Amino acid sequence: MLQSTAAAALAVAVTASTVMAETSAPAEASGHSKLRQAVHRLTGPDGAPGALARVDTDRDHELVITSGVSDIETNAPVDPRSHFRIGSLTKPFTATTVLQLVGEGRIDLDAPVERYLPGVVRGADNDGREITVRQLLQHRSGLPDVLKYMPPLDVLEDPLRHWEARELVDIALPHPREFRPGEKFGYSNTNYLLAGMIIERVTGKTYGEEIRRRIIDPLELDDTEVPTDVPDLPLPHTEGYVRPGDDLVNITRLNPTVGGAAGGMVSSASDINRFLSVLLHGRLLKPAQLHEMMDALPTGRTSGSKYGLGLEWFPVKGSAACKKGFWGHNGDMLGFSVRAGAIKHRKQATVMVNLNPGGGPTLDEAMEKVLPTALCDN
């Protein structure tokens, strides 16, 4: 089930020649050397086995660049159409579904969580009567993050185990809150597990069924899934790796219920870009709800970012093309790290590497730079 590889195999994998696939007008393709270099820096001895970046514009131009390998055993190159786990990029899908229900009058953003999940948020000083739905979506609830008390690498012991959302929530809630509700920003996956539970309580269907009915099917996102207990990725896909020590471990087969409404989805770069484009164009939410989603508050992060309801705004210094910054979200799941963003009415970009966690500071720094390069320097 899990494969441990020797350092020699890794060396062969990461020194494989870069593979690039581009689809755009020749004149435009010639201006993408910065992005090629940025993607190449994601692989190599200090990086991931493989990487992929895709840029789409509202003028129907696309660019896909890949580097490294999708499988360190076969040295197969990264397929530009690859499926991968999107981790916390699930959150914009979950938030959009909640906001659609708000627009239908079925959820009140400023109602307490207790109204929809009576008795669920209890423990230590966490109380669902004091926390609103809006605070869940904006990570201002103060609820402890389940991942703080269930480190991701613990899942390696039993990667195919099924998890109920309530089980995961109940791991977090006995621990003290991080701050009083509404006081500040504090990223917590517990918030979105609860948001998924609210969707299910209000609609009588699973959060995945609602995301499919409201987003995936209408947008024809054929590469996007909200899997339940299915551990395998659709073809084509890259293998996903973690590095708990000196060697890589293959964690491609994983029960996605461990991520749930906070991070369990599977998609492709083309589908993520399409979703972000349609969302920011106002085709998924009514104007009032889109305004709520983009009413962002400071995160306190060194990047200067702000977080709305399931979308984060990132500033870009010194870029005329991105002087107003861009909207997007990061997504990390065992085996994969993803960054996606969009400039409204212009461009969308998604970047993926098939290693997480264990990439180290060099890869982390390269990942933070590649998305602004894709959106603002091309």
Q: Identify the pLDDT of residue 44.
A: 86
pLDDT digits (tens, 9 = 90+) for 159-188: 999 999 999 999 999 999 999 999 999 999
Looking at the structure of the chain, the number of domains it has is 2
Domain boundary among 178, 213, 248: 213
Question: Do both 187 and 115 map to the same domain?
Answer: yes
pLDDT digits (tens, 9 = 90+) for 239-269: 999 998 889 999 999 999 999 999 999 999 9
Q: Identify the pLDDT of residue 360.
A: 92
Look at residue 218 and tell me if it is in a domain: no
Residue 143 belongs to what domain range? 90-213
Look at the chain and count its residues.
Answer: 378
Look at residue 223 and tell me if it is in a domain: no
Cβ partners under 8 Å of residue 102, min gap 6: 108, 109, 289, 292
Asked if 357 contacts 69 with a C-beta cutoff of 8 angstroms, the reply is no
Question: Do both 69 and 98 map to the same domain?
Answer: no
Question: What are the residue ranges in the chain where pLDDT is below 50?
Answer: 1-31
Q: Identify the pLDDT of residue 279.
A: 98
CATH of the domain at 43: 3.40.710.10
- Rounded to an integer, what distance in angstroms lies between the CA atom of residue 113 and that of residue 91? 18
SS3 34: helix
Q: Identify the pLDDT of residue 195.
A: 98
SS3 43: strand
Q: What does the CA dihedral 352, 358, 363, 365 come to, rounded to 10 degrees? A: 110
- Rounded to an integer, what distance in angstroms lies between the CA atom of residue 6 and that of residue 262? 33
